[in-house]
Structure 1
Amino acid sequence: MSGRQGRARDAGIDDRVLAVAARSLASNGYIAMSLATIAEEAGTTRQALYRRWPRKADLAAAVIKTLEEREPHGAELADPYSALVAELADYQRGVSQPGRLSLVGTMLQDTTDPDVRARYRATVVAPRRGRLSDILETARRLGHIDADADLEIALTMCTGCWYGRELAGDPAPERWPERTATLIWRALGGRTPD
């Protein structure tokens, strides 16, 4: 047996690379994301980076995986209005983190790898929309909102109004989750709690 051993693997390299890649993806977009620059900023080599993520799309997908939505927070669906407020508050916390809104813009660019965009939709967008849809469907089933309420449009309004406000350059309104939930709830024929 030869006494030669390989160099110990740097356990922190993955975290460093993913942090740098997340910043790069959010600020520069997918097409301008440079693996060489990321490796340099993370204090590693391109070879080490390629061993872990052979393609730029693989690294971008790994960044998206770190954004994976958590399980529902346990707000009781017996009180769908409160669950809606809680979900919108959670959304506001997430989208307000540095780089998150820029990442949304990156996912809308034509130059973003389709597989990366699909991963983002499946990992970040679909779980949130699923929880919001469950809340609104429960509200309709319990008779808290109109039976013919347009849940398709309401679902888009839940998060879409945040993006519209950001694009207009308006500051975040105070109590945005409660105010948004109230507006949507009333538009769907519901009465909000006092």
Structure 2
Amino acid sequence: MATSSPGRPRDEAIDRAVLGATVELLDEVGYQRLTISAVAARAGATKPALYRRWPSRERLVIAALHRELRTIRAPDTACTLCDLHESIGLFAHAFGNRYVTVLGPLLADCAGDDDLRRAFIEGLFDPARDAVRHTLVNAVERGDLRDDLDLDLTVDMLGAIPHYRAIFGEVPLGSDDIERAVVTLLRGIAVDYEALVAHSRQIDDAPATHDRHLPLQAST
């Protein structure tokens, strides 16, 4: 995500300050009004120090947002309904309200450059995709999902719902929307959908730690 001059030791404190300042300014003024000068001033650094590490504003913003996504972990509760619910939520909440103010204009700036576009996808979307793919693999191995499941296509389907709603929808994707999406998807890819619903209800009724799971209701 970042570059440095050969032989020059990296000062991680500067990295942290600059990336943190970048995120703060993105939330305050958005991507289009963000400047390298403003980031340098906020971080107490110099423009040359920034350009030694990130040769462009696009690279800097990608690195700053990627730093926030490093902690993404695959949902793994052994409850497929719970995990898929959290997977869509993971996509939905990865960027908060930055879709319009940051991601849209950033992608527009990266679209014409293959290297930048690749960095954009690998840095900002692959972390969530990889986590959700791991969740699906676990569900297939448990026998909950069909063993002929197209994993990459299913990940795309899970991610498309929150991304589309965030960019084009009138209201953000809510928990009820996620619940309906999981039900619709599982009816096509589950080995035994009703068994997954029953298992989800058992977990919800038990004094366990699945406090973020909202029980799904079987449709009639």
**Distance in 1 between the 2:132 and 2:153 partners?**
12
In structure 2, the residue matched to 1:89 is 89
**Distance in 2 between the 1:193 and 1:184 partners?**
13
In structure 1, the residue matched to 2:217 is none
Q: CA 1:174–1:61 in structure 2 vs 1: closer, same or farther (change >3 Å)?
A: closer
1:103 equivalent in alignment to 2:91: no
1:193 equivalent in alignment to 2:194: no
Q: CA 1:144–1:73 in structure 2 vs 1: closer, same or farther (change >3 Å)?
A: closer
Question: RMSD of the alignment, in Å?
Answer: 3.6
- Equivalent pairs counted in the alignment come to 180
Provide structure 2 residue ranges, at least 5 long, that are not aligned to the other structure. Answer: 1-11, 199-220
**Distance in 1 between the 2:37 and 2:124 partners?**
27
**C-alpha displacement at 1:185, in angstroms?**
1.2
The aligned amino acid for 1:174 is G
**Distance in 2 between the 1:153 and 1:143 partners?**
19
In structure 1, the residue matched to 2:157 is 157
In structure 2, the residue matched to 1:18 is 19
- Conserved? CA contact 1:92–1:177, under 8 Å: no
Provide structure 1 residue ranges, at least 5 long, that are not aligned to the other structure. Answer: 1-10
Identity over the aligned pairs, expressed in percent?
20
**Distance in 2 between the 1:95 and 1:17 partners?**
19
Q: CA 1:67–1:106 in structure 2 vs 1: closer, same or farther (change >3 Å)?
A: farther
Q: CA 1:101–1:130 in structure 2 vs 1: closer, same or farther (change >3 Å)?
A: farther
Helix, strand or coil: the match of 2:70? coil
Q: CA 1:46–1:79 in structure 2 vs 1: closer, same or farther (change >3 Å)?
A: same
In structure 2, the residue matched to 1:144 is 144
1:126 equivalent in alignment to 2:129: no
**C-alpha displacement at 1:129, in angstroms?**
1.5
- Conserved? CA contact 1:69–1:124, under 8 Å: no
The aligned amino acid for 2:22 is A
In structure 1, the residue matched to 2:203 is none
Q: CA 1:111–1:154 in structure 2 vs 1: closer, same or farther (change >3 Å)?
A: closer
* TM-score computed with the length of structure 1 as normaliser: 0.67
* TM-score computed with the length of structure 2 as normaliser: 0.61
Q: CA 1:64–1:114 in structure 2 vs 1: closer, same or farther (change >3 Å)?
A: farther
Q: Once the two structures are superposed, what CA deviation does each residue of 1:55-77 show, in whole Å capped at 9, x if it has no partner?
A: 2255335314423332525623x
Helix, strand or coil: the match of 1:136? helix
In structure 2, the residue matched to 1:5 is none
